[in-house]
Every structure is written in structure tokens, then in C-alpha cells.
Amino acid sequence: MKVRARGALALTALVLAACASAPKPQEVTLTATNMTFSSSSFEVTAGVSVILTLVNQDALEHDFSILEIPVESVSEPDAVSAEHQMEMGEAAADPVLHVAVQPNETNQLTFTPTKPGTYEFYCTVPGHKEAGMVGTMTVLPR
């Protein structure tokens, strides 16, 4: 009986240690206004969850998209993002990361980048990238 109790205590201690060492999610907020993103670059860490909040202070619909990036645990697209993706069709080129936001609204995307590097993000609404809605996300090693 004592051996089982010690085993259970050891297992509990391991689980608690793993939870205590899990990094806190990184929170990034980008604001879309006047055909630009509030920050044209930001950094996150590989292997750590990112909660990206896109705030639209414009009268036009916008989105945040990254075509190619190694990720895990990407949140399911919400109704606004899914509908936006269908409307954009070929213009959006099926990005790995995508979140859309209606005028004067806010939306979120959660993901975990897995490979360090620099990745371009932009708005896929026709003409918006060309107008300056671009930036870079740098994924740092953990």
C-alpha cells in the first residue's frame, strides 16, 4: 500500500512540475487602421502558444494571414474568418494562419509556432497588401 501511495505522489509531483514549467501564452495585439497594422513587426517564441488579437479600427474588413509557417495547435476558424476565407478565394491562397475582423470589431487567433524564422504577414483583402498592410513575425528559438 505504501509503495502505491509513493508512486501516486511521485506521479502527482511530476504532473505539477510539468504544469508549473509550462510557459505562459504570449499575447500579441495588432490594430488595423488606415491600411496599416499598428506594428509592422513583432517577436514570439517557438514552442510557446500565441494569442493574437486583431483589432479593426477601420471602416473596411481586414485580416491577418501568414501563408506558410510551421505551427501546431491552431485554433479553429471562427465564422467571420471562415466566411472571409471563402470570399477571398484565390486571393487568400489558403494561408496556414488566418483571422479576419469586421469594421470596428476584434477577433482572435491562437497558435503555437514550432520553427524559428521570419515570416511575412499581410491582409489578403485585394489591394490592402499593396497599400502597406504587411509586416513580419519573427519566431525566436526557445
Residue 121 in any domain: the answer is yes
In a domain, 51, yes or no: yes
pTM: 0.81
Residues 63, 81 contacting (CB under 8 angstroms): yes
> Do the domain assignments include residue 16?
no
The CATH number given to whatever domain includes residue 34 is 2.60.40.420
Query: Contact, 51 vs 110, CB < 8 A?
Result: yes
Contact assessment for residue 84 and residue 32, using Cβ atoms and an 8 Å cutoff? no
pLDDT digits (tens, 9 = 90+) for 10-68: 555 555 555 556 789 999 999 999 999 999 999 999 999 999 999 999 999 999 999 99
**Residue at 8 is within a domain:** no
Q: Which domain holds residue 86?
A: 23-140
The dihedral through the CA atoms of 110, 69, 112, 25 has a sign that is negative
Q: Residue 70 class from Cβ within 10 Å (0-12 exposed, 13-18 middle, 19+ buried)?
A: middle
- Give domain status of residue 119, yes or no: yes
Question: Is residue 29 a part of any domain in this protein?
Answer: yes
Q: Are 45 and 82 in contact (CB under 8 A)?
A: no
Q: Count of domains in the chain?
A: 1
- Mind listing the pLDDT tens digit for each residue in 37-47? 999 999 999 99
Considering all CA atoms of the chain, what is the largest pairwise distance in Å, rounded to the nearest integer?
70
